Amino acid sequence: MKPVDAERRKDSGLLVGGPGGWRGLVIRHPSIHLGRYCFQPGWSMTLLTLVLVSLLVMLGFWQLARAEAKVQLIDRYEKNSALPAVDLNAGDLNGQQLDYRFAAADGEYRDAPFILLNNQIYQGRVGFHLLNLFRLAESDQYLLINQGWVPATAESKPMITASRFNLYNNQKVQGMLVPVPRVGLRLGELRYQPDAPVMELPYLDLSWLGQVLHVDLQSSVLLQDAQLVGQYRQQRETLWLDPERHRGYALQWFSLALALVIIYLVTNLKRPDSS
Which tens digits make up the pLDDT trace of 235-252? 555 545 678 889 999 999
**Alpha-helix runs per DSSP H in 82-116:** none
Q: What pLDDT shows up at residue 15?
A: 43
* CA dist., res. 192 & res. 61, Å (int): 41
Q: What pLDDT shows up at residue 247?
A: 94
Domain extents for the chain? Answer: 83-239
Q: What pLDDT shows up at residue 12?
A: 47
Q: What pLDDT shows up at residue 16?
A: 44
pLDDT exceeds 80 at position 196? no
Q: How confident is the model at residue 56 (pLDDT cuts 50, 70, 90)?
A: very high
* CA dist., res. 164 & res. 15, Å (int): 88
Q: What pLDDT shows up at residue 21?
A: 47
- Minimum mean pLDDT range among 81-85, 124-128, 231-235, 250-254: 231-235
pLDDT in tens, 113-151: 888 888 877 777 888 888 888 988 888 888 888 888 887
Q: Which amino acid is at 10?
A: K
CB 219 within 8 A of CB 206: yes
What is each CA distance from 177 to 85, 107, 141, 221, 241, in whole angstroms?
Answer: 10, 16, 15, 6, 17
* CA dist., res. 189 & res. 268, Å (int): 53
Strand partners, 176: 102, 223
**CA angle in degrees (0–180, nearest 5) for 22-27-28:** 95
Q: What pLDDT shows up at residue 207?
A: 83
pLDDT exceeds 70 at position 32? no
**3-state class (DSSP) for residue 96:** coil
pLDDT exceeds 80 at position 184? no
Q: Which of 143, 74, 75, 63 shows the shortest CA–CA distance to 103? A: 143
pLDDT exceeds 50 at position 46? yes
**3-state class (DSSP) for residue 131:** strand
Q: How many residues does the chain have?
A: 275
**3-state class (DSSP) for residue 249:** helix
Q: What pLDDT shows up at residue 18?
A: 46
Q: Which long-range contacts (CB under 8 A, 24 or more apart) does 33-38 make?
A: 34/269, 36/271, 36/272, 37/269, 37/270, 37/271, 37/272, 38/269, 38/270, 38/271, 38/272
149 Rama sector, left if φ>0, alpha if ψ -120 to 50, beta otherwise: beta
| Beta strand residue intervals within the chain, DSSP E | 32-34, 37-39, 86-87, 102-109, 114-122, 125-136, 141-151, 172-178, 198-201, 216-224, 269-270
Highest mean pLDDT among 57-71, 84-98, 169-183, 208-222: 57-71
Average pLDDT, the chain: 76
Q: What pLDDT shows up at residue 129?
A: 85
Rg (CA), the chain: 32
The angle that helices 243-267 and 43-81 make with each other, rounded to 10 degrees, is 170
Say which residue, 270 or 137, is predicted with more confidence.
Answer: 137
Highest mean pLDDT among 70-84, 173-187, 223-237: 70-84
